Chains A and B, each alone.
Chain A
Amino acid sequence: MVTKTVDSYHFDKLEETIAKLNEEDCTIIAGGTDVMVLHKSRRGVAPKIAGPVVFIDHLSELKQTYLAEGNLHIGACCTYGEMLEHSLIPSVFKKAIREVAAPAIRNRGTIGGNICNASPAGDMLPLLYIFNAKLVLRSFLGDRIVEIHDFIQGPRRIARQQNELLVEVILPDVVDEESTYLVFEKIANRQADAISKVSFAGLLQVKDGKVADARFAFGAVGPTMVRSLEIEKKLLAKGYPLRAEVLEEVVADFSSVINPIDDQRSTAYYRETVALKLLRYFLTSKELS
């Protein structure tokens, strides 16, 4: 019984890593908090990972966070812990990060990993969706920029080519948190170390008594985050506070696009009901001018 040795790569430079990806299909490990669980063996045995592994979380090129032309760039290998301490990270993201697992995981898990794991319950995803996050995928051919909702295709399914690496997350036109009503809610079975049963991110801007911008995303209620530009558009220029029939229409619209399931963590009924309650509450609870 011969067990195959897993080849692994740990390059000093991003360039070399990209070059290797062009040669071989590798399992990419950033923090490893998802990969190690996904491929977990039973006790006492290393995870079963087929093929070569490439480690990337030490690459300093992937750990930069900076502003460029009004866009916020976050390196794919920034850990939750690092983002929590960075002054450029919007505070609503920090609120969401504080609800990710617990400190030990936050010290390893990365934003790039959370995106590429493409879990329907991914903690960062609802906010990334409503911030219109763009992802920079680098290969030996150069950079390709993809919208997050095009990149994530389903549970653990992403539009990454074998030779590409997610290197950066870009939040374009970062909204001014002072004048924007931003909410993130993670609903789970306990206060820490929990996986979302429902999550919700909402953004609302009101100018001169009218809705100027409205965005919503729901997590854990479908195979990917649920966001609908069409429904959001219906709210634009509507008077705020919203009239009852406008509100009811938005809630009804979402009710038809949300399709959760029953599983070991919650019920479809709960997920849908709470998602819609959170939306309704978000749209009515605050006085905005």
Chain B
Amino acid sequence: MITKDISQSVVKKDHVDKVAGQLPYISDVKMEDMLYGVLFRSPIAYGKVLSIQYPTLPEGYHVIGAEHIPGGNFVKILVPDQPIFANEWVNYIGEPIFMLVGKELKVLYQLLDEVEVEFEEHEATYTLDDAIGKMTDVMATHEFGESLQSIEKIEQEAYQIIEEEYETGYQEHVYLEPQGMLGIYQEDKIQVQGSMQCLYYIKNALISALACDDDEVRVIQSPTGGGFGGKEDFPSMMACHVAIAAQVVKKPVMLLFDRSEDLVVTTKRHPSKIKYKTALDKEGNILSMSTEVFLDGGANTGLSPVVLQRALLNSAGVYKIPHYHAKGYVLKTNTVPNGAFRGFGAPQSFAGIESHMGHLARIAGKDPLEYKRRYLVKQGDPTITNGRFRDPVFMEDMIEDLLETMKYRETKEEFTRFNQQSPRYKKGIGTSLFLHGCGFTGSGERDHIKATVKLLKTKEDKVLVKISNSDMGQGIFTTLSKIVAQELNVPYEEILFPYPDTKDVPDSGPTVASRTTMIVGKLLERAARRLKEQWQSGAEQEIVEHYVHEEMIPWDEKTFSGDAYPAYSWGVNMVEVEVDSLTGNVQLGEIHASFDIGKAIDERIVKGQIDGGMAQGLAYGFMEKMTSKQGKIQQRSITDYGPPTSMDIVHIESKLYDNPYAGGPYGAKGVGELTLIGGAPAVQSAIEDALAVSFYQIPITPEVIIESLEKREGEAVDKI
């Protein structure tokens, strides 16, 4: 079909196969002679491998270890500190030491049990607090903003100084499809297939590990059952494992994770600690603020330095704070490495700043929303890195509109009455205001990614989209095809978008950072426009388009100044909760949300991103709890971790504000990550409103609530 307005929804390209269950995910693939791999993992958090005793291997069973790696024994991400097989030092529980490969999983598991490894254990750093205490293993740090001397001067003259510490916990992706990767050996070449977000990250990791040429490795994305960042950096490691094994045994090698293995060893959202020091005048106005962000990187650097950048860039939220200073660190701990997760550092920062602003409002005796609005950034305002919010900012309109839709004031009054009469259940309403910088931070797109897209027109006049981005459920097969179809003015069904294969797609960059629709979509829009101009029916044609950098205030990573992002998406969430003061359980009430994402490429797909992202964001605030004890993840099942079920989530009333961005296709900006960010802070603010208690952490579990309520009751008794 040809739609008049691109936002009009169409049936998704992969809908039919997915509903019927016949689309083969990697665990559905079987090959002749295929072997399985299982990893022997470190049982200790930090120490030296002294000796390994392998059991006697039956015929056809192999040990694959560091000695089989032709290239460097590390997964290439930013820093070469992540071993493929840890053959000397182990840095966390679950770190792969070697892999056993063979035909029967049952035999492999049994062999794994018979392995004996002797370690020399060393004293490990288990928690972020330990790491902050030592400050010895700093994996990355940045500092920017107003000088501390001038802030000190302001503080000395201030009416009061408010210092707060805020903590956020782990978040686990729980993509429904556990991680899986298949390595295939073919005449001196290696092919890797699997569940992934970033084909070229994997390809580059393979070239480095296999020390081979570009044309000797090939990466193909399998249908991917959810990613959320969890399949951004982690699959590179698994790809190295299966590729090395396949090269040694010259057979296909499949590595599939169990859910419990996946929960324990794959990357998670960084736990964080954020410290705020804010100077206020007598009326509660902010005079200055300095923020310190600490991220728990886990055992390897991974993507953490970039996560820290985003955390810092968002540390002042959507506010214009006078005299702002920020500093941040990624610290090493001997725990599972943390990595990418939808939002990439921003959810921690927004939870923190929204919480802090809410508390400052209470100190000033103001309604939190009213207080926050006084500091909202406007078009033309500087960012905290001295960039500019160049495009229109509709936050005020969005807030006003939501206040009216949800009858904010009446609801608040109604809740006050309800709470006075109800001893057990307490209702509250909370708001969060947030943004998300679309695309890579700073000049990443220009200097590191350099995206290239290709459109291929066949003799039959079918158009194929050739890019390296993954559809992991978010729907780019559909949205990007729509952009191309709209530009070419052909029915959307005629655009073909096969699963990407590095053999025939250029590197259009990774599927991360809310960049695919905006950056890659824009390149495809341009490519389609050119194809249309040059269209020759019956001829095979190829159009290649490269990234063009938009002129902004130049980004300087050293000084952390300039425009960090080309564009921002915006959001407002308003959430009602009912808290059971007897048990601390929280039930969601009405939820309203408003977003400015430029322009929706497909309204239904965007709604899917909103509902799914908000469910994850809300649950991050009060439900999903993962802890590590002596370096060991404690929640080893989905139930113990507790992502929301259909009964935990309620209908979400959402709205979109058209605010087309010239740099995006049809005006579109990023969506995916934005939708998660506001959930947790809105829930916190609603719980605080219901109970009239301040919290300094997420998730605000029933345990946290009961402890606070008991403490308050104890204090009340003490006063009598």
Contacts and interface: CB of A to CB of B under 8 A. Distances in A.
Interface stretch (B266-274, B441-449, B644-652): B644-652
Contacts of B585: 187
A270 B703 contact: yes
26 contacts: A1-B58, A41-B106, A41-B109, A43-B105, A43-B257, A43-B258, A44-B256, A45-B109, A187-B585, A187-B702, A189-B625, A189-B640, A191-B647, A191-B648, A192-B645, A193-B638, A194-B642, A195-B640, A264-B627, A266-B703, A270-B703, A274-B583, A274-B702, A274-B706, A277-B583, A281-B424
Contacts, number: 85
Contact of B706 (A45, A192, A270, A285): A270
Given A1-B110, A42-B258, A264-B636, 6 more contacts: A44-B256, A190-B623, A190-B645, A192-B648, A270-B706, A285-B424
Contact of B623 (A41, A189, A285): A189
A193 B623 CA distance: 13
Interface in A191-221: 191-195, 197-198
Given A1-B110, A264-B627, A265-B640, A274 B582 contact: yes
B685 to A, nearest CB: 21
B541 interface: no
Interface in B549-588: 582-585
A91 interface: no
Given A3-B106, A43-B256, A189-B623, A277 B645 contact: no
Contacts of A269: 703, 707
Contact of A267 (B107, B256, B703): B703
B639 interface: yes
B375 to A, nearest CB: 35
- Which of the four size classes fits the interface of chain B? 35 or more
A42 B639 contact: no
Nearest to A281: B582
Contact of B634 (A185, A264, A278, A281): A264
Contacts of A267: 703
B710 interface: yes
Nearest to B36: A44
At the interface, is chain A mostly helix, strand, loop or mixed? loop
Contacts of A266: 703
B642 A189 contact: yes
A102 interface: yes
A273 interface: yes
Interface string A29-55: 000000000000111110000000000
B583 A187 contact: yes
Contacts of A187: 583, 585, 702
A191 B585 CA distance: 10
Contacts of A3: 106
B582 A192 contact: no
A190 to B, nearest CB: 5
A3 B109 CA distance: 13
A187 B705 CA distance: 14
B439 to A, nearest CB: 35
Interface in B238-271: 256-258, 261
Contacts of A274: 582-584, 702, 706
Contacts of A197: 702
Nearest to B635: A264
Contact of A270 (B257, B640, B646, B702): B702
Given A264-B634, A273-B710, A274-B584, A190 B702 contact: no
**Complex A-B, nearest 9 residue pairs according to Cβ-Cβ distance, in ascending order:** A191-B647, A189-B642, A264-B634, A192-B645, A44-B105, A270-B703, A43-B258, A45-B106, A192-B647
B642 A192 contact: no
Contact of A195 (B36, B584, B639): B639
B262 to A, nearest CB: 10
B114 to A, nearest CB: 11
B646 A192 contact: yes
A281 B580 CA distance: 12
A101 to B, nearest CB: 9
Nearest to A273: B706
Contacts of A41: 106, 109
Nearest to B704: A270
Contacts of A45: 105-106, 109
A197 B635 CA distance: 14
Contacts of A185: 583
Nearest to A274: B583
B256 to A, nearest CB: 6
Interface string A260-289: 000011110110011001100100010000
Nearest to B109: A42
A97 to B, nearest CB: 15
B238 to A, nearest CB: 15
A100 to B, nearest CB: 12
Interface in B700-716: 701-703, 706-707, 710
A278 B582 CA distance: 7
B172 to A, nearest CB: 13
B706 A190 contact: no
Interface in A70-127: 102
A265 B107 CA distance: 33
B583 A42 contact: no
